[in-house]
A and B are shown apart, each in its own frame.
Chain A
Amino acid sequence: MATTALMISGTHCESCKALLEEVCREVPNVRSCAVDYRTGRTVVEHDGDVDWAAFERAVSELGSLYRVELPPAASGVK
């Protein structure tokens, strides 16, 4: 199992957190997500590779509220 830290901007309340953590789990290989809505800092626990583009799509389906900022190495690292 690996963890990846990333930022999601546009979060501002508990329901953002609840919403994002829910969406996040639906992305293949993701086990869980922990969003700090105050800072936007998000820690993703996942098994193997995550399709980060799919992750971004899942978040963008919630509307234009949130923007995912992936760490530079996120797509390449196991």
Chain B
Amino acid sequence: MEQTSKTYELKIHGMHCASCEILVERRFQKVSGVQRVRANYASGKAVVTAEQEPDLAALEKTIAAEGYRVSRWETAAPAVNPGREWRELGGVFLVVVALYLVLRRFEFIPASIGISEGMSYGVVFLIGLVAAVSSCIAVTGGLLLAVAAKYNEQHPHLSGAQRFRPHLFFNAGRVVSYTLLGGVVGALGSMLTFTPAMTGYLTLGVSVVMIALGLQLLKVFPWAARLQVKPPKFLAHRIHALSDSGHPAGPALLGAGTFFLPCGFTQALQLYVLSQGDWQRGALTMFIFSLGTLPALLSLGIVSSFARGGFQRYFLKFSGAVVLLLGLWNINNGLTLAGFNVQIPGFSGVEKAVATVREEWTDPNVTFNGKEQVVKMDVVSAGYRPARFTIRQNVPVRWEINGINTYGCQSVILMPKLNITKYVQQGPNVLEFTPTAAGELPFHCSMGMYRGSFTVVPNAAAPSDAPRPAPSQPAACDPTISNCLEAQRLQMEISRERGFYPNDFTVRKGVPVELEIDTKVPMGGCMSVMVIPRYKVAHRLTLGKSVVRFTPTESGVIPFTCSMGSKMGQFTVLN
């Protein structure tokens, strides 16, 4: 080798096997000035030894017919200059977080757009438009962005139109699946959705994929490139495997599968369709909704497909940051829905608060009025404020909830440990319960997005007979009395003040139950349908009185839920 010769590193796009290496090496050898070539398909790198810088165009010409492309190594190199990479990354994350905060300030979802009885298809379309730019898209859009950006990165030589093709399939699949499944929901009269726990696990699966792809796109962790989500452990993994395949069925099925990803709007609309009980209206409603989400999803597709050069570099970084953050955020939601109480600081919408209590009544948000501990909390667009309280065991709690912004899933507060479901209205609300056990008493919104928690500390002077939480009103008809045989009549009231009250009933096996429900407030979203899963009862809660009938056929506890599966209360069936 002559002393004047130097080595030049090139990126060869499209190499995938050992014979690609040999082919590239052989062809490059023939270009004048090239002394030695070493190609490696795994890294995509070719090291060319030559006296002077080789002409990229001349090199590419030798292998262009086989579909390979040549570029300088540094444009595609992972972390050539770690310091600079990290600074850039910091900047990108700052921009993403700032955007998030700004968007949150603007209250993206106008209160006036809601799902209402007999709404026009124009309104459905508007709901789609809004849903596509709301938090609802965190999962679907995040996954799409992750997959699209990865695809873009893996196929830099494809033209924008070629890269955009999978997006068309994705959206076509989405529209078709929404239309069909909308029809199915209308025809069957039942929700097509998983239990909250299943949705939680699905969200977790998707989040893992998003975090893996996000890390790969950011490229600051070389080890992340080896993260391959292959085993079909979750459905999400299968979705991911499909998205990697070049076949149109891959993206189309991915799009179709998004129907089952957690999205409050999709669920609420399913309920609406359910209430219409008509497959044509169901199909048309979901079709128009999915059309409404098209502009945003297609724009995402266009931007990611046609990104080139320097802009592409930043686009990939930006996407990586967004996808990573969304992944972490979704994991948090998924954990809550799946039943784990975990707080990842900064992603949960939970305000930082002092949780450690050594002195008596040190929580400034909790006061003692001689009889009850009074807890004050605001419901705002960002969730619950404050969201952490310290209370004492066995002392009744009067939870004064001030609804400042209740236009979202934060309007439903679930306390799984006490079986409490509270629908928060604008203005003051009161919820009463008594913590009987020390420890954490978490609560969250119906989507698992916003969270909070009570820390119950032991009370030395605990009253021995503290009132039970959620007092159950005795059944209007005592099941032990024989004249009940025709029907056991129960009453429940749904009001702004007390939520579902009472929500714990005791009934007898084998005797028909008639539950008269007096709905005093208009019910929206998932709360507008009451379901008794065991007996396949779905009852639409319209304003005023309505009756639910079923006959318990076995003893035990039968829960009743909202149509999303959140538990509202239960029947205890006695023999």
The answer on A and B forming one complex is yes
List residues of A whose CB falls within 8 A of some B CB. 12-16, 18-19, 22, 62-63, 65
Contact A63 B22 (CB under 8 A): yes
In the complex, which residues of chain B have a beta carbon less than 8 angstroms from the beta carbon of A18?
23, 66
Q: Interface size class for chain B?
A: 10 to 19
Measured CB to CB, the nearest residue on chain B to A61 is B22
Contact B20 A15 (CB under 8 A): yes
Contact B26 A22 (CB under 8 A): yes
Contact B26 A13 (CB under 8 A): no
Further 20 A-B residue pairs, CB within 8 A, beyond A14-B67, A16-B17: A12-B17, A12-B19, A13-B16, A13-B17, A13-B19, A13-B20, A14-B66, A15-B17, A15-B19, A15-B23, A18-B23, A19-B19, A19-B22, A19-B23, A22-B23, A62-B22, A63-B22, A65-B18, A65-B19, A65-B22
Measured CB to CB, the nearest residue on chain B to A13 is B17
How far does the Cβ of B469 sit from chain A's closest Cβ, in whole Å? 67
Contact A19 B26 (CB under 8 A): yes
How far does the Cβ of A43 sit from chain B's closest Cβ, in whole Å? 19
Measured CB to CB, the nearest residue on chain B to A11 is B19
- Give residues of chain B (20-37) contacting chain A, Cβ–Cβ below 8 Å: 20, 22-23, 26
In the complex, which residues of chain A have a beta carbon less than 8 angstroms from the beta carbon of B67?
14
Contact B66 A63 (CB under 8 A): no
Contact A15 B66 (CB under 8 A): yes
Provide the bound-state CA to CA distance between A40 and B328, in Å. 48
In the complex, which residues of chain A have a beta carbon less than 8 angstroms from the beta carbon of B16?
13
Contact A63 B18 (CB under 8 A): yes
Mark interface residues in B126-169 (1 if CB within 8 Å of A CB, else 0): 00000000000000000000000000000000000000000000
- Give residues of chain B (264-300) contacting chain A, Cβ–Cβ below 8 Å: none
Name the residue in A12, A16, A18 with the highest tally of chain B Cβ atoms < 10 Å from its Cβ: A18
| 16 CB < 8 A contacts A-B | A12-B19, A13-B17, A13-B19, A13-B20, A14-B67, A15-B19, A15-B23, A16-B17, A18-B23, A19-B19, A19-B23, A19-B26, A22-B26, A62-B19, A62-B22, A65-B22
Provide the bound-state CA to CA distance between A13 and B41, in Å. 14
Provide the bound-state CA to CA distance between A16 and B66, in Å. 11
Provide the bound-state CA to CA distance between A28 and B272, in Å. 77
How far does the Cβ of A1 sit from chain B's closest Cβ, in whole Å? 26
How far does the Cβ of A6 sit from chain B's closest Cβ, in whole Å? 18
Measured CB to CB, the nearest residue on chain A to B17 is A13
Provide the bound-state CA to CA distance between A42 and B554, in Å. 73
In the complex, which residues of chain B have a beta carbon less than 8 angstroms from the beta carbon of A62?
19, 22
Measured CB to CB, the nearest residue on chain A to B65 is A18
Provide the bound-state CA to CA distance between A62 and B20, in Å. 11
In the complex, which residues of chain A have a beta carbon less than 8 angstroms from the beta carbon of B66?
14-15, 18
Contact B26 A16 (CB under 8 A): no
Provide the bound-state CA to CA distance between A72 and B17, in Å. 31
Provide the bound-state CA to CA distance between A62 and B21, in Å. 10
In the complex, which residues of chain A have a beta carbon less than 8 angstroms from the beta carbon of B26?
19, 22
In the complex, which residues of chain B have a beta carbon less than 8 angstroms from the beta carbon of A22?
23, 26
Measured CB to CB, the nearest residue on chain B to A14 is B66
In the complex, which residues of chain A have a beta carbon less than 8 angstroms from the beta carbon of B18?
63, 65
Provide the bound-state CA to CA distance between A15 and B39, in Å. 14
